[in-house]
Structure 1
């Protein structure tokens, strides 16, 4: 029970800013006393102005509903009476409270001056692993009834229920955790310290036994780790009719011959120790198609099988969905482990010491509170379970694991270490799930990261070549460079250097240089780095080709350019930086090694500092090596380029280097060293041939068995490809004319389909201009338009919001061409504005073309065309996700009909009706079809 009255408020308004004359259209206040909801007040409010269409679409509140409603000043006394002596609570309290204060002030009343709680802030602490802290997503997660999202009465009531849920979540936390949260809560943005004070006070009066699944170690409560005993291995075959068992466990299961064939072929590949490539169309069920035979083989032959995926989402899906299903089906127990790189795991020693630092920076405080709660729940210690702010991610860089620099014995947390626990579990696992990044790191590190294995499944294999290029390459962005360097600090700043100097003074440790001499070198390094970045930015801006109207620019740094006079100032400036870094590293390494060799009896905070400094020097050296590789060494087999946005240089500057080809690396380090590798994806062939894919990853056709499994969906019945003949051909008109023609066409289509439309672009600039033209036309006022990079939110959030609205249009580029899953009627129309060719001046494309030309090959047919076809297949794959889905694909790029190569795109996708016509034909056909 809380001793204060709580009023949970929600407002619906005509817009975001009261300063711009926006007004309240609905208000609701839920009153909580003694931990129970006792009353609710709700009223529409007359805004004295029309409600915008977007707000009407969002809230369902229209002008008719507020026509006879009171004006705000009429209900203001009632609102103030409800709020009197209470705590104001809202989901994003700054918005609701500031809006209410503005309306009270305008009506001639004093503002509310009591305490306020923000349930968004509270959600981040009480549920640090939630996918989203939006009201709708939280209520869905907790199965709370939320009848009318974006109406004040429903939103206020569900916020009140969330508040009570969060309070109950906090109450059951151990006292040691709550006391630490209480100390930190004084630095939060809302007045949640009142809540923590009260909960701690109540808990101290009634001390409870610690829950059996928790332990307290060195003052921090942790969930106990379950030690998996090695499971009994079996030599007999797992006899099981898999289809029959799937039918028993999945109500909607349909037997798929292609899936059974895939299972047989994967098992055969492992049994014979051979490689296999499988293209499994949408609906085949490829995850189970490789997991079940992998499990059979692992148990029968006492061999672990590694599954590698491209995205962390698919890793989690495999673990939470398919693996759980197999645990129910399989007649023998088995063990699966999700294994990631060290820096995914928390270093508990560093975290313990960070709690002792007096820190008031908001993101750091919030992240510490999130971690304290999370440690009572996590079994993995994996950061991917946490939903951190961007500032929290930076703080995590201090806490992440990177091994030990002092002996293990000096870390008092080693027995509780999550990374070691994951490694130990992986040693006895039948199936290890990892990602392409970890797999490639393991190859580079000669098998030091993943326990030894000979059998491997690579899912989303169409990303393998790109992942390998990125992993063997270098990415340096301006902000990360500055952040890494700034962690060192100077002698008079309370950062690493200052703290290490204090430790040196205490134990009489001296370096080769006097501290002031070293500090001068550090200060000079910062000056040299700033100068080098400015010189690089100027060279970039001067030499980069600027496309008209485009803000993002790119510059390839060829070997000729690196040898030119114009590049010399960059080279000289970077040489000074590299030399300074080497000197600073040498001095600090010597100091740390002296501390280590003296075997001093360091306090825990001092040990943690030494560990942290060693970790920092690992990053420092890595950065120095990358600078050397990019600016001082020859990069004959690499392509080097700079990216940036003209509106925010140098902050947006990115330096990238990638090997032009990785086929030989993969052939020698992966395929030659493993007995059985299965590569699979929904998109691997071009015109029914695996040649392009195999060539990119370094496999010859005689080294691998090929299997193509078509989608079981009837595309002739469920999908149609439409090619408009009344739009200009790309290249025959200016970019602006093309965008204008496409925009007006898309408006007509959107009106016919009532939204439910995903429009895919190959350039962000074209996306932005099309979005602006369609929005400004005034013809789509009833529609919600959402665009990647314009509307805020991640790809996942944009997709979820798109599914929430009836009349929605989603504009996407790059990442939206694949991995977006919008089943059912939410998506009925997919529009592809251009065929997805990489720009010919894109650095990797350009470098590959030069090599192919030198080999006497045609770069277009050997690389550009097959790469575009695979992306096209990915894009078309967004439309039909289930057998019951229906929809239309519109391809605006007329090259699909007017060029000799156009037919290769159509032949590479599942067979479906192809129609051609003008906008009127299309609208008439859509209305009949949908």
Structure 2
């Protein structure tokens, strides 16, 4: 231990000797140790940060602005790291404003670096005072973790120890996982009853949720009553009560379906699953459930946020990473990451590292791959063989799910669970699919098959474990089940055969061999022939984007390679299937001697083996189909995936032409009641309402069911005519990025920020960002950008929401499901009509679902979703601008009734934007 650590320096002495630096959108500001504030240019700030340690906030974002790497800077004291340590599992925006807000401190009204640099010291002192206080809440493991991080070189380590004072001498281990509570099993819950939920009951529950004195919302009450159709007893097998509900923005559909769903769960003693497409809506529903269960303990017992295994911290992975990080061989950054993870681990609500209470901005600090290695994203769980099984977050969530009343899940999880556990009585029988317009896309992903290099390499790793001597670990199938099979020669024989057959899958270094035309084995050789066929058939192989071609008339060499690989797939699928069956047989043969934990391991491993065996057999069928007449139910193609011009994968891909068919078979038919809801289920409101609903039913799988769905639609209560404008700019030259950037710049300035720029291509987003960043910064308008700023999308949106003059550029993830009410979002600018990408898959679906009418429908739905971001609550005002002169008039029905879209020149659009926001609204529609 160094002397500095041993003496626990006085925090105030350290801070008084530490200059502070803030890098803004135009320039930087530095506060010297003498209290002098000076303005710096970016090159001067970069030099200062390189030469000397500073007090900063969000070092990765600062280094991006200054065009530095984090490793080039001196060991700076980042306030965000201190906050994550002092207040673990607590939310803050990764900005000075966010820290001040989280600490209940005053913040300058401007984001000028000159104003902000003076409060960095105050923020640091506030956090360190927390540590010193007798009332400090997050004391578990604090001293031991700080000591380990200090020894590893964390700049804040000695300061934190000094703030802890005598408590820093207390002993305590780093094993945060050992302090977690253990879960307990209980008897399986009985099956739910079949009591109906009446319309009157739903109305009464909704009124109770809203509380006394709440504003009357007739549309919401009507929605809640109509939604009860999904909560009546089923009258025939494989014929669920399906309700399709379109509810315009502002209807209040979330509480509208929570009312009957919660009633059904309580009356019948069974769970209702509320499924979303985005994590943002999962969080929103979780917040709304506080109305139903005001007591946090009751809410924790009766509701659960359910995600895939890859979202939760794996305690065994964390333990092994911590041991490596604090052993002395790892770098400081690894130790800092693990220290912050251990602090979070001791105080997290549910162990969710993706969208939960884990600081999302840490991904940009330390790399998403490092964080991903702390979860079970490869399916390597040891189940009951793991030393941490009884404390496992995932196992706890699974058990809570069985006894919860409301389970907030996501479409992908619901579909994969249903596909892998078909016929399982534990599967949910009452479902609500919010963001129902995404059901088609979620099903398309869940029920597809990809025979690619990455998929094959992942399967090999799952079976054989890590086969190289690189840092880290991967447990193969043997390490997960061998101890259960040592006395069973048959099972051990199947295991050995499977591991031997797995050698034919892509091995370590497969991608490098593929790109240098030196493949090994039948799998890699098949990929090599795919790559050759793609290059021979595409018209332009240059550029950064991926390439694809059809599977028709494959070359003789490719067919020969496919035959060899098909035989290899058979050699692999047979022992996988046999081993899965043997494990299931052992559950029966050894029923009297197996403990519940071992039974759980065998059952889980058998399911995992069956899934992968099914996948390998599907690959074999795809290979055989290359020389047969194509199955009209599927679309097959060859693809070469690229990222920024670099090849990352290649393979044979198969998707259902209509993925709602397997969705209906595996999810809808077994259910008893389902509500599918969205603000944009219908393509457009026309006199041909049945035709509009028919398209909606096709998109969600209702057309595959025996009984017709109950359909209802409610319009938004907002006065769009008074509060919104829709402009189509008709004098920009398409493809001219300079003109496009000028339009974004001028419109953002006219609105004085609060602007969301949407793009249909990342390349255009990046080009426009580079051209408008400087002018916006000069005007004092912060500019954030997806795919550019080293911050995950959800946090970027949070930062944008918090600053009324900020601007944000983004693509699909920002367009769909983002909720930014108030003045922070008052202008949306879309770069061009969001036509569907002209892929081979889309080409096939276009031909099957209506040709140009299908394109128009998809495009209108995207425009409608984008417009829906603009007005989120009563009183919101805003302008929607589409920068595409070639916008067909038939697409403009995507927008709500009220505002009439206007085709204007750019100059006129700028003037209208400026005038709109400079005009005081009427008393009935106050400005937000």
Q: Same fold (TM over 0.5)?
A: yes
5 Å matches for 1:834-913?
834-839=832-837, 841-852=838-849, 858-861=850-853, 863-896=854-887, 899=888, 902-906=889-893, 909-913=896-900
Conservation of the 8 A alpha-carbon contact between 2:30 and 2:117: yes
**Range with greater deviation from structure 2 (295-304 or 455-464):** 295-304
Conservation of the 8 A alpha-carbon contact between 1:119 and 1:163: no
Conservation of the 8 A alpha-carbon contact between 1:760 and 1:817: yes
Q: 1:11 aligns with which of 5, 20, 28?
A: 20
Aligned length in residues: 834
The change in CA–CA distance for 1:313 and 1:812 in structure 2 (over 3 A counts) is closer
TM-aligned CA deviation for residue 361 of structure 1: 4.3
Quote the residue 2:926 is aligned against: none
Residue 723 of structure 1 pairs with residue 728 of structure 2:
yes
In 2, the alpha carbon distance for the partners of 1:288 and 1:470 equals 29
The change in CA–CA distance for 1:629 and 1:903 in structure 2 (over 3 A counts) is same
Conservation of the 8 A alpha-carbon contact between 1:10 and 1:156: no
TM-aligned CA deviation for residue 309 of structure 1: 1.3
Residue 423 of structure 1 pairs with residue 398 of structure 2:
yes
TM-aligned CA deviation for residue 872 of structure 1: 1.1
Q: What is the Cα-based RMSD across aligned positions, in Å?
A: 5.7
Q: Work out which of the two has the higher radius of gyration on C-alpha atoms and give 1 or 2.
A: 1
Conservation of the 8 A alpha-carbon contact between 2:271 and 2:407: yes
Conservation of the 8 A alpha-carbon contact between 2:273 and 2:408: yes
In 1, the alpha carbon distance for the partners of 2:468 and 2:883 equals 61
Quote the residue 2:904 is aligned against: 917
Quote the residue 1:686 is aligned against: 683
Conservation of the 8 A alpha-carbon contact between 1:759 and 1:812: yes
Conservation of the 8 A alpha-carbon contact between 1:543 and 1:555: no
TM-aligned CA deviation for residue 714 of structure 1: 0.5
Q: Deviations over 1:726-769 (max 9, x none)?
A: 345xxxxxx534x4544444444334323333232222233334
In 2, the alpha carbon distance for the partners of 1:785 and 1:690 equals 40
In 2, the alpha carbon distance for the partners of 1:677 and 1:514 equals 44
Q: Deviations over 1:615-664 (max 9, x none)?
A: 99999878866765665665733333525337442236687542221232
In 1, the alpha carbon distance for the partners of 2:604 and 2:401 equals 27
TM-aligned CA deviation for residue 259 of structure 1: 0.1
**Range with greater deviation from structure 2 (673-682 or 616-625):** 616-625
In 2, the alpha carbon distance for the partners of 1:445 and 1:504 equals 23
Conservation of the 8 A alpha-carbon contact between 1:832 and 1:892: yes
Quote the residue 2:535 is aligned against: 542
Quote the residue 1:156 is aligned against: 121
In 1, the alpha carbon distance for the partners of 2:126 and 2:608 equals 45
In 2, the alpha carbon distance for the partners of 1:663 and 1:519 equals 34
Q: TM-score, normalised by structure 1?
A: 0.73
Q: 1:26 aligns with which of 7, 30, 33?
A: 30
Conservation of the 8 A alpha-carbon contact between 1:722 and 1:888: yes
**Range with greater deviation from structure 2 (186-195 or 416-425):** 186-195
Q: Deviations over 1:694-752 (max 9, x none)?
A: 01233249601111100000011101212334345xxxxxx534x45444444443343
5 Å matches for 1:573-722?
628=620, 636=631, 637-639=633-635, 640-642=637-639, 644-645=641-642, 647-651=644-648, 656-688=653-685, 689-700=692-703, 703-722=708-727
Task: Give 3-state SS (helix, strand or coil) of 2:823's partner.
Answer: helix
TM-aligned CA deviation for residue 365 of structure 1: 4.7
Q: TM-score, normalised by structure 2?
A: 0.74
Quote the residue 2:238 is aligned against: none
Q: 1:467 aligns with which of 439, 442, 450?
A: 442
In 1, the alpha carbon distance for the partners of 2:742 and 2:168 equals 67
5 Å matches for 1:735-746?
735-737=734-736, 739-746=737-744
The change in CA–CA distance for 1:490 and 1:183 in structure 2 (over 3 A counts) is farther
TM-aligned CA deviation for residue 444 of structure 1: 0.8
The change in CA–CA distance for 1:267 and 1:133 in structure 2 (over 3 A counts) is closer
Conservation of the 8 A alpha-carbon contact between 1:10 and 1:153: no
Task: Give 3-state SS (helix, strand or coil) of 1:827's partner.
Answer: coil
In 1, the alpha carbon distance for the partners of 2:913 and 2:683 equals 30
TM-aligned CA deviation for residue 401 of structure 1: 7.0
Quote the residue 1:44 is aligned against: 37
Task: Give 3-state SS (helix, strand or coil) of 1:433's partner.
Answer: strand
TM-aligned CA deviation for residue 383 of structure 1: 3.6
In 2, the alpha carbon distance for the partners of 1:291 and 1:116 equals 48
In 2, the alpha carbon distance for the partners of 1:714 and 1:520 equals 62
Conservation of the 8 A alpha-carbon contact between 2:380 and 2:475: no
Residue 308 of structure 1 pairs with residue 275 of structure 2:
yes
Q: Which has the higher contact order (CA 8 A, sep 6+)?
A: 2
TM-aligned CA deviation for residue 879 of structure 1: 1.1
Quote the residue 1:926 is aligned against: 913
TM-aligned CA deviation for residue 681 of structure 1: 0.3
Q: 1:283 aligns with which of 243, 250, 263?
A: 250
TM-aligned CA deviation for residue 851 of structure 1: 3.5
TM-aligned CA deviation for residue 275 of structure 1: 1.7
Quote the residue 1:296 is aligned against: 263
Quote the residue 2:555 is aligned against: 564
The change in CA–CA distance for 1:725 and 1:270 in structure 2 (over 3 A counts) is same
Quote the residue 1:815 is aligned against: 813
Structure 1: gaps (5+ residues):
17-21, 30-40, 56-70, 73-78, 103-110, 211-215, 599-608, 729-734, 853-857
Q: Deviations over 1:160-183 (max 9, x none)?
A: 32344467799866777854x368
In 2, the alpha carbon distance for the partners of 1:520 and 1:921 equals 65
The change in CA–CA distance for 1:488 and 1:122 in structure 2 (over 3 A counts) is farther
